[in-house]
Amino acid sequence: MGHRLGVLTGGGDCPGLNAVIRAVTRRSLDRGSEVVGVREGWRGLVEGRLVALGPREISGILPRGGTILGTSRTNPYRSEDGVERALRTWEAERLDALVAIGGEDTLGVAARLHEEQDLPVVGVPKTIDNDLSATDYTFGFDTAVSIATEAIDRLHTTAESHNRVMVVEVMGRHTGWIAVTSGIAGGADVILIPEEPITVEECCDEIRSRHDRGKDFSIVVVSEGYELTYKTGERRGVAREATPVDQFGHVRLGGVGDALAHEIETRTGYETRVTVLGHVQRSGTPTARDRVLATRFGLKAADLVHEGAFGQMAALHGDEIGAVPLRDAVAELKTVPPSWYAVARAFFG
Ligand code: F6P
């Protein structure tokens, strides 16, 4: 006799979510389980909004971006009766297990519900930021990097034609994975990330030295999480003031590209423009690589449910899909190591 299995997607949307939903559903249906989708992340569990998932619902969703279930940054632990209501929905819906697909916040809630309420939950890691230490890669990252790389390639021709400095602001809340990887792939002349914050002065020196060598345009990639850093040691986070904070305590980032461009133009005198890639990095169809990783994670999550291995999360180690405790997924941030930044730095200036 199969399970009655719930699936939810929480946090920011990410290319490949639908591929996970399809794989979890397909394998579970094949085993005779019933599958229901929880609408809009934890909000759907709190509010009791679920939909049946069958062959028809998952047909054609593999290449689609976003999530057919919707998503939210709702945290049931942030309202007084959030957890209680989620448990009531669980009972009313006669769920036997839940697959939670999300990043550190969604999986953090999943880990707590498993540990504190003994809920049979399995996790699938998701984030375009690629900053979860328990897995080598997350799906969505490859798509984001591809989009950012294409943007850098395109901006080269305008930078060249106008003798401009083009600053490209990319996503990455805590880490510079998207900036470093797309910057290396796109041949950026300077890359600024939170892990190794080079100073504004160093950034301007690199651009000047390029110009001195006859290269009168530059591409600068900056991660949204980089804080303007000065040789005096002063640091300035941008767009942190007066922006709304979500239920997991995150401010809305964005704006460092503008601030950096202003500094570069003022200090070097070179005409500078900014492109903020924003949500285009998360939108649209996933790359083949992300579809495959998401599919493998989805099958693994369904298998973990089948085996009763709750409190675990699917993870990629090398080329193998394995499982790690959910708690580990959110324990540590995977930052860009110095060796990666050294690759980027070899092409600065
Ligand atoms: O965590 C993924 C991410 O895309 C970050 O890179 C970014 O800071 C954040 O989500 C943006 O969130 P929102 O979609 O709520 O603006």
Residue 344 within a domain: no
The pick from 129, 141, 193 for probing ligand 1's pocket by mutation, whose C-beta has the most ligand atoms within 8 angstroms, reads: 129
Angle, vertex CA 298, rays to CA 129 and CA 283, nearest 5? 40
More confidently predicted of 241 and 275: 275
Q: Can you give the length of the chain in residues?
A: 349
Q: What is the DSSP letter of 132?
A: B
Give me the DSSP letters along 189-223: SEEE-SSS---HHHHHHHHHHHHHTT---EEEEEE
pLDDT digit string (tens) for 76-100? 999 999 999 999 999 999 999 999 9
Q: What global pTM score does this model have?
A: 0.96
- The mean pLDDT of 195-216, rounded to a whole number, is 96
Residue 338 within a domain: no
Q: How many CB atoms lie within 10 A of CB 247?
A: 17
pLDDT digit string (tens) for 254-311? 799 999 999 999 999 999 999 999 999 999 999 999 999 999 999 999 999 999 999 9
240 and 168 co-located in one domain: yes
The residue written with tokens 């599919």 in the block is: 295
Tell me the C-alpha distance between 97 and 28, whole Å: 11
Nearest CA to 203 out of 192, 217, 213 is that of 192
Nearest CA to 148 out of 255, 254, 280, 273 is that of 280
Catalytic annotation present for 328:
no
Here the CATH number for the domain that contains residue 54 is 3.40.50.450
165 and 239 co-located in one domain: yes
pLDDT digit string (tens) for 111-135? 999 999 999 999 999 999 999 999 9
- Looking at 250, 265, 282, the residue that finishes a domain is 282
The residue written with tokens 């719930």 in the block is: 6
pLDDT at 1: 62
pLDDT at 239: 62
Residue 336 within a domain: no
Q: Which H or E element spans position 170? A: strand 165-170
pLDDT > 90? residue 240: no
201 and 245 co-located in one domain: yes
Q: How many CB atoms lie within 10 A of CB 296?
A: 19
pLDDT > 60? residue 243: yes
pLDDT digit string (tens) for 318-339? 999 999 999 988 889 999 999 9
pLDDT at 247: 87
Average pLDDT for the chain: 96
Nearest CA to 64 out of 26, 10, 19, 11 is that of 19
- Looking at 224, 257, 282, the residue that finishes a domain is 282
- The mean pLDDT of 136-160, rounded to a whole number, is 98
- The mean pLDDT of 243-253, rounded to a whole number, is 80
66 and 36 co-located in one domain: yes
User: What's the 309 CA to ligand 1 centre distance in angstroms?
Assistant: 30
The pick from 14, 250, 253, 330 for probing ligand 1's pocket by mutation, whose C-beta has the most ligand atoms within 8 angstroms, reads: 253
194 and 258 co-located in one domain: yes
269 and 149 co-located in one domain: yes
pLDDT at 71: 98
pLDDT at 245: 82
171 and 241 co-located in one domain: yes
pLDDT tier, 242 (very low <50, low <70, confident <90, very high otherwise):
low
pLDDT at 349: 93
pLDDT > 80? residue 61: yes
Phi-psi region of 97 (alpha: psi -120 to 50; beta: other; left: phi over 0): beta
Residue 187 within a domain: yes
- Residues 281 and 254 sit within 8 Å (Cβ to Cβ): no
Here the CATH number for the domain that contains residue 152 is 3.40.50.460
270 and 296 co-located in one domain: no
Ligand 1, CB cutoff 6 Å, lining residues: 12, 103, 127-129, 171-173, 224, 252-253, 282
pLDDT at 40: 98
How many domains are contained in the chain?
2
Q: b vs e for 208-244, b when ≥16 Cβ sit within 10 Å of the residue's Cβ?
A: bebbeeeeebbbbbbbbbbebbeeeeeeebbeeeeee
206 and 155 co-located in one domain: yes
Tell me the C-alpha distance between 222 and 192, whole Å: 5
- The mean pLDDT of 166-184, rounded to a whole number, is 97
Tell me the C-alpha distance between 151 and 145, whole Å: 10
Helices vs. strands in the chain: H and E counts, helices first: 12, 13
User: What's the 183 CA to ligand 1 centre distance in angstroms?
Assistant: 19
278 and 291 co-located in one domain: no
Residues spanned by the domain of 271: 144-282
- Residues 124 and 20 sit within 8 Å (Cβ to Cβ): yes
265 and 150 co-located in one domain: yes
Residue 182 within a domain: yes
184 and 251 co-located in one domain: yes
